[in-house]
């Protein structure tokens, strides 16, 4: 009974996130970073005001030439606040008013939420962060932090950013991640984790086998038949080690689209086996 009670909160989180992916195709935005691309699926139905706010900045080019200005190990990676303009660092100009808070989805690993001012639940403007771990306390802190997207590809890039050396360059850059930097040297623009481009994705979605711009039950059926492990078959230890996502032998059977999405998001070490060019 205790084990069931322990699992219930996790199941509720997974079901809530799954319901955020409606039948209509969600917008996908690609963050082109110096360490590789990060793809975000926006939860249009669950957080419509926040998604519209984020897309307003992305579509206008406001996030282009921005950089990750905060990284806290085993917590978050944060951006959207500052950008390089000529020879200067400037704040990404907020377009008033701030967006109303839309709490509901949980701040689990891989989700993206809006940052805001302490004690002001409706103060989100430009800054966003990726949850590197499950930060469930953020679901209620400061009115709850609005989750409006999920990393569907590039989580290893996020993890790489989170393990970079950090420097204190003075407020607001007290936890600034840097690349190719030697202690004792000044921090240059080239040392910043820059985002050259933040824009809606126009290329095909890996795993969208029927080209309807989303991964759904129809794709699951085709993926099942394409994988070496047929639905319902037992896995050998070697197969389980290669295919497991959550650590159970049934994961390779791809029982629903949520598992497919998490596999395609790079949360399985064998992403290339799920999205070969032949598929």
Q: What is the DSSP letter of 227?
A: S
- Please give the domain boundaries of the chain with CATH numbers for all domains: 2-200 (2.40.100.10), 217-274 (no CATH)
Model pLDDT, residue 26: 81
Instruction: Give me the mean pLDDT over the 147-170 stretch.
Output: 95
pLDDT per position as a tens digit, 42-76: 998 899 999 999 999 999 999 999 999 999 999 99
Strands 82-85, 88-91: pairing is: antiparallel
Q: Across-strand partners of 66?
A: 83, 195
Query: Which of residues 243 and 59 earns the better pLDDT score?
Result: 59
Query: Which of residues 232 and 224 earns the better pLDDT score?
Result: 224
User: For residues 48 and 159, what is the distance between their CA atoms, to the nearest angstrom?
Assistant: 28
Using an 8 Å Cβ cutoff, are 29 and 79 in contact?
A: no
Task: Express as a percent the part of the chain with pLDDT over 90.
Answer: 59
Q: Which has the minimum average pLDDT: 53-62, 114-123, 226-235?
A: 226-235
For residue 264, the tally of other CB atoms under 10 A from its CB is: 22
Query: Which of residues 256 and 158 earns the better pLDDT score?
Result: 158
User: For residues 116 and 105, what is the distance between their CA atoms, to the nearest angstrom?
Assistant: 17
pLDDT band for position 79 (cuts 50, 70, 90): very high
Instruction: Give me the mean pLDDT over the 154-162 stretch.
Output: 95
For residue 104, the tally of other CB atoms under 10 A from its CB is: 14
Instruction: Give me the mean pLDDT over the 205-220 stretch.
Output: 62
Return the H-helix or E-strand segment holding 11.
helix 2-19
Return the SS3 of 238: helix
User: For residues 133 and 248, what is the distance between their CA atoms, to the nearest angstrom?
Assistant: 21
User: For residues 4 and 26, what is the distance between their CA atoms, to the nearest angstrom?
Assistant: 33
pLDDT band for position 279 (cuts 50, 70, 90): very low
Task: Express as a percent the part of the chain with pLDDT over 70.
Answer: 63
User: For residues 204 and 201, what is the distance between their CA atoms, to the nearest angstrom?
Assistant: 8
Residue 260: pLDDT over 70: no
User: For residues 6 and 145, what is the distance between their CA atoms, to the nearest angstrom?
Assistant: 24
pLDDT band for position 201 (cuts 50, 70, 90): confident
Using an 8 Å Cβ cutoff, are 112 and 65 in contact?
A: no
Q: Which of 191, 162, 192 is nearest to 72 (CA)?
A: 162
User: For residues 218 and 208, what is the distance between their CA atoms, to the nearest angstrom?
Assistant: 9
Query: Which of residues 41 and 18 earns the better pLDDT score?
Result: 41
pLDDT per position as a tens digit, 30-40: 999 999 999 99
Sign of the torsion formed by the C-alpha atoms of 259, 264, 270 and 273 = positive
Residue 243: pLDDT over 50: no
Q: Per the structure block, which two tokens stand in for 277?
A: 């060019």
Instruction: Give me the mean pLDDT over the 238-260 stretch.
Output: 45
Instruction: Give me the mean pLDDT over the 215-225 stretch.
Output: 62
* Residue in the block written with tokens 């070697």: 238
* Residue in the block written with tokens 């000529």: 86
Residue 144: pLDDT over 80: yes
Decide: residue 109, CB within 10 A, 0-12 exposed, 13-18 middle, 19+ buried.
middle
């Amino acid at each position: 009974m205790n084990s069931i009670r322990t699992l219930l909160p996790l199941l509720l989180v997974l079901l809530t996130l799954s319901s955020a992916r409606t039948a209509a195709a969600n917008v996908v935005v690609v963050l082109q970073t110096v360490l590789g691309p990060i793809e975000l699926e926006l939860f249009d139905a669950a957080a419509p005001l926040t998604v519209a706010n984020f897309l307003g900045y992305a579509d206008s080019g406001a996030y282009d030439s921005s950089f990750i200005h905060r990284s806290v190990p085993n917590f978050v990676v944060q951006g959207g606040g500052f950008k390089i303009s000529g020879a200067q660092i400037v704040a990404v100009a907020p377009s008033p008013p701030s967006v109303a808070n839309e709490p509901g989805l949980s701040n689990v690993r891989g989700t993206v939420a809006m940052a805001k001012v302490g004690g002001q639940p409706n103060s989100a403007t430009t800054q966003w962060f990726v949850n590197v771990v499950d930060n469930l306390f953020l679901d209620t802190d400061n009115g709850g932090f609005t989750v409006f997207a999920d990393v569907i590809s590039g989580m290893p890039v996020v993890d790489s950013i989170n393990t970079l050396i950090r420097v204190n360059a003075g407020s607001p850059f007290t936890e600034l991640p840097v690349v190719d930097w030697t202690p004792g040297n000044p921090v240059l623009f080239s040392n910043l984790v820059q985002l050259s481009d933040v824009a809606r994705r126009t290329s095909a979605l890996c795993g969208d086998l029927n080209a309807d711009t989303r991964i759904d039950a129809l794709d699951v059926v085709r993926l099942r038949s394409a994988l070496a492990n047929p639905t319902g078959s037992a896995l050998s230890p070697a197969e389980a080690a290669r295919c497991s996502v959550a650590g159970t032998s049934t994961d390779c059977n791809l029982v629903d689209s949520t598992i497919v999405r998490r596999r395609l998001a790079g949360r399985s070490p064998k992403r290339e086996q799920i999205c070969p060019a032949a598929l």
